[in-house]
């Protein structure tokens, strides 16, 4: 673990150093990468602090029983429905979905439901779906959703069952 951290820190410092030198010397590719980095970081700064504040509030205020009832073992089909509705309101994409899914899981949501949530975050975010339909047509978007949502649910159930059989536990930060 320790050695990995050192490699990571060295890698990140090397990258930053490369960008700084490139900017100073006007090295084209380095400048381009620096620009990509800045614009993607800005994109994430628009989302992550807000998302993590909401996650913090969720952890403090929402009772475990509530999540267990709606997203847990006894939730049945409702759990999947909630997961998909919740995903529709998630902004950003997978990288915002992962921490939210982890929070849901740590409050008692079942595995197949959180994987459904993650899959749905990828494909059913409302703003993105509207945007897609306006460029590729309603028919295209409708078919994509009708085909992918059931498959996301089925594959999430399979993955959930498989992991439950193997006594899988999520331990974040590893």
Binding to other proteins by residue 159, rule CB under 8 A? yes
Q: Does residue 23 bind other proteins (CB under 8 A)? A: no
In the structure encoding, which two tokens stand for residue 159, read together? 């993955």
Nearer to other proteins, 16 or 65 (CB): 16
SS3 percent helix, strand, coil of the chain, rounded to 5, is 85, 0, 15
Q: How far apart are CA 102 and CA 108, in angstroms?
A: 10
Contact between 55 and other proteins by CB under 8 A: the answer reads yes
In the set 27, 47, 69, 88, which binds other proteins (CB under 8 A)?
47
Query: Which residues within the stretch 57-76 sit at the binding site for other proteins (CB under 8 A)?
Result: 57, 59-61
H and E: helices and strands count for the chain = 9, 0
Q: Is 172 left (phi over 0), alpha (psi -120 to 50) or beta?
A: beta
Contact 107, 96 (CB under 8 A): no
Residue 85 has a CB neighbour count (10 Å cut-off) of 12
Q: Is 36 in the site for other proteins (CB under 8 A)?
A: yes
Using CB under 8 A, pick the residue from 27, 69, 93, 157 that binds other proteins. 93
Q: Which residues bind other proteins (CB under 8 A)?
A: 8, 11-12, 15, 29, 32-34, 36-37, 40-41, 43-44, 46-57, 59-61, 91, 93-95, 98-99, 101-102, 115, 118-119, 122-123, 127-128, 131-132, 134-136, 139-140, 143-144, 147-148, 151-152, 155, 159, 162-163, 168, 170-174
């Amino acid at each position: 673990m320790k050695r990995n951290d050192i490699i990571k820190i060295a890698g990140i410092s090397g990258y930053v150093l490369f960008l700084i030198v490139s900017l100073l010397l006007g090295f084209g590719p380095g400048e381009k990468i620096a620009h990509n980095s800045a614009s993607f970081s800005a994109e994430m700064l628009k989302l992550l602090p807000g998302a993590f504040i909401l996650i913090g509030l969720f952890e403090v205020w929402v009772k475990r029983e509530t999540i267990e009832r709606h997203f847990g073992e006894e939730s049945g089909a409702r759990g999947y429905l909630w997961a998909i509705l919740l995903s529709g309101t998630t902004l950003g994409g997978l990288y915002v979905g992962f921490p939210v899914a982890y929070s849901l899981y740590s409050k008692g949501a079942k595995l197949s439901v959180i994987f459904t949530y993650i899959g749905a975050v990828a494909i059913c975010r409302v703003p993105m779906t509207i945007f897609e339909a306006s460029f590729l047509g309603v028919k295209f978007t409708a078919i994509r959703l009708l085909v992918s949502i059931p498959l996301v649910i089925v594959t999430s159930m399979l993955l959930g069952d498989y992991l439950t059989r193997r006594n899988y536990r999520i331990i974040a930060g590893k």
